[in-house]
Amino acid sequence: MNTRRLTPLAAGLLLALPALPALAQAAYPQPTPAMQAIIDKDTARHFGDAPPDAGPLATDLSSALTPAAIDKVLRRVADWQLARAQPYFSRIWTEAVMYTGFMAASEATGDPKYRDAMLAMARHYDFQERDRLPNADDLAVAQTYLDLYFQEKNPGMLRLTKAEMDDLLPLATVKPGDARIPWWWCDALFMAPPVWTKMYRATGDRKYLDYMHANWKRTYDLLYDRDEHLYARDAAYKDKREANGRKIFWSRGEGWVMGGLARVLADLPADDPQRGFYVQQLREMAAKLASIQGPDGLWHAGLLDPGAYPLPEISGSALFVYGMAYGVNRGLLDGATYRPVIAKAWAGIVRNVYADGRVGNIQQTGAEPAYYRPTSSYDYGVGGVLLAAAELKRMAQGDAR
């Protein structure tokens, strides 16, 4: 590898690793001590892990965009993730994202076991969030509660979530005593807005849509870069730069927004006067992301300085595929333009699936581009892959629901 493409810190770390095999040293910079501390914490919290060796990559999976090929990848990944994660189910945001993927997997495959696991989880927690006046992260689990409600039509499934959301309605800030807007970081646009659109769908009460529209617009005004057509992760990143001088736009952060757009549009009424606002963002972001897609079909942790982060980043890439495929399937994005982008990206994602179903190259939790190992796999990233696979299977079947 040409270390001149890396930041000085990355190059120094890469060259200072005599204990690692020569191939590993040549392939990617290692996490800094601070990054490793996050990896260790994520592992201890059972979000995932990054072992030195995760075994062989899969050789029997195809990236063909056919229902059978996609289904095989989806089941392999979902089965592995369910087995490793189910003993540690909680209501934290990382798992909430994974749950959305399991719900999508169950619908796409017709296999009820993923949905049944989600219903057992929801019943265990009595369909309640984990915190009073939940922020976006803590509200995210309600996406699954509401999707289960749409299947079961049991009003008791809505009661506690609806009460929490009604308490949030009059708040102009994230919580009393905190002056930040409710969705002050771009990740929040995946976590919370779909809950508000789903609650509107469940109740027919316009106040939930009005809240969502008002607060997404506040986040847009604060964080959306109208020149780059990407979101700053939060206000602190608006003036930060990569080593190459470009603005910092974090792969997974943009992925959260793309996924959030797809999930909001799924439940937003076709005649809603604000719908065009979200469609336009989806189109602008998709065009930007397609223009910077890597030769391997994937995107890196730092979108505008990929040379400083040589490994692909799968959680962001998968969410981009999900958002683009959703747009194509609903006629919001031009299929002739985006199907090749999607196909190339999906092929790259499948190359990062291990024989047992582990999905590698998922960055640990954080707020900005970082280093990780190829084996790095975390529940939220797998959730993104499952969402992407389910949407791709719909595309392959010609289902534009």
pLDDT digits (tens, 9 = 90+) for 340-385: 999 999 999 999 999 999 999 999 999 999 999 999 999 999 999 9
**pLDDT (average), residues 62-83:** 98
Are 219 and 188 within 8 A, CB to CB? Answer: yes
* pLDDT tens-digit map of 310-340: 999 999 999 999 999 999 999 999 999 999 9
Answer whether residue 25 is part of any domain. Answer: no
Answer whether residue 18 is part of any domain. Answer: no
**pLDDT (average), residues 166-173:** 97
pTM (2 d.p.): 0.94
Answer whether residue 367 is part of any domain. Answer: yes
Q: Among this protein's residues, is 187 annotated catalytic?
A: yes
**pLDDT of 401 higher than 70:** no
* pLDDT tens-digit map of 7-56: 433 433 333 333 333 334 347 999 999 999 999 999 999 999 999 999 99
- Residue 400 — pLDDT band, cuts 50, 70, 90? low
Q: Report how far apart, in Å, the C-alpha atoms of 175 and of each of 93, 218, 299, 333 are.
A: 18, 16, 35, 37
Are 184 and 235 within 8 A, CB to CB? Answer: yes
Answer whether residue 132 is part of any domain. Answer: yes
Q: What share of the chain has pLDDT > 70, as a percent?
A: 93
- Residue 399 — pLDDT band, cuts 50, 70, 90? confident
Answer whether residue 222 is part of any domain. Answer: yes
Q: What share of the chain has pLDDT > 90, as a percent?
A: 92
The domain that contains 376 carries what CATH number?
Answer: 1.50.10.10
Range of the domain at 255: 31-397
Indicate if the alpha-carbon torsion angle 161, 164, 167, 169 is positive or negative: negative
- Among candidates 395, 401, 399, which has minimal Cα distance to 69? 395
> Which one of the listed residues 42, 71, 187, 267 is annotated catalytic?
187
DSSP letter assigned to residue 92: S
**pLDDT of 126 higher than 80:** yes
Q: How many domains is the chain built from?
A: 1
Average pLDDT, the chain: 93
Answer whether residue 40 is part of any domain. Answer: yes
